[in-house]
Amino acid sequence: KAGVTQTPRYLIKTRGQQVTLSCSPISGHRSVSWYQQTPGQGLQFLFEYFSETQRNKGNFPGRFSGRQFSNSRSEMNVSTLELGDSALYLCASRPGPSQETQYFGPGTRLLVL
Amino acid sequence: GENVEQHPSTLSVQEGDSAVIKCTYSDSASNYFPWYKQELGKRPQLIIDIRSNVGEKKDQRIAVTLNKTAKHFSLHITETQPEDSAVYFCAASMTGNQFYFGTGTSLTVIP
């Protein structure tokens, strides 16, 4: 099976802009989680979607939002970008929330200038 | 919510020596503890995991131990090799819930 894919891989934006990142899970996986990775902070959970519904949400401001489509592909959006949003954004998929093993995509590296 | 702490943040060992990375968690309801390896510029990859009904699990040169009473778990890598150099993350979760990650340990194996 093809692995988790994310697009774009790299992105440069300026403060105040918005950005949309995309994640395609492994075929058959219906749960997609998003993480922000920054040096020294590790991976911080943003949200998880399953069957087009947000199941869990981390402690991020409302500028961070997401959605999931009927084919399980997911997008996350960040509005009004701030310098501190510069990070590697990773998504991970698993068959469903009760399956523990998740598989990560390669990430989208976002730089906010 | 759950809080996962990971130590040390950096670790250097000579090739052939052992490396140990420790994590503590706060929520006694957590029942699944995976370890991920992330090489530079690559995605995190699961290397080993343990569930709360097991005290130890081994897979060739890597092992994980879990102490539920003390709420800590450790990754042990024996006979380290240069290709073991990477950042290692521990995580904790309760079935059906989100994952909480440690802040990572940068392991360098010196040839």
- What is the pLDDT, as a whole number, of residue B105? 97
Interface residue ranges in chain B relative to chain A, Cβ cutoff 8 Å:
6, 32, 34, 36, 42-46, 49, 51, 89, 91, 93, 95-104
> In chain B, pLDDT over 70 holds for what percent of residues?
100
Would the CB atoms of A100 and B45 count as touching at under 8 Å?
no
* CB nearest A107 (choices: B34, B43, B100): B43
- Which one-letter amino acid corresponds to residue B70? A
Chain A residues whose CB is inside 8 A of the B34 CB are: 100-101
Q: Report in angstroms the alpha-carbon separations of B52 from A77, B32, B71, B103.
A: 35, 6, 10, 21
Cα–Cα distance for residue pair B107/B90, rounded to 1 Å? 13
pLDDT at B97: 87
Q: Which chain B residue is nearest to residue A9, measuring alpha carbons? A: B41
Distance (Å, rounded) from C-alpha B76 to C-alpha B79?
Answer: 10
Q: Residues B78-98: pLDDT tens digits?
A: 999 999 999 999 999 998 889
Residue B34 has pLDDT above 90, yes or no: yes
**Count of helix runs (H) and strand runs (E) in chain B:** 0, 11
- Listed as ranges, residues in chain A with pLDDT below 50 are none
Distance separating alpha carbons of residues B45 and A30, to the nearest angstrom: 19
Of residues B103 and A39, more confidence is placed in B103
The residue written with tokens 């950042």 in the block is B87
Three-class SS of residue A85?
Answer: helix
Chain center to CA of A61: 15
Name the residue in chain A with its Cα closest to that of B31.
Answer: A100
Closest CA to B49 of B58, B41, B39, B60: B58
Q: Is the pLDDT of residue B9 over 90?
A: yes
- Write down the pLDDT at residue A75: 98
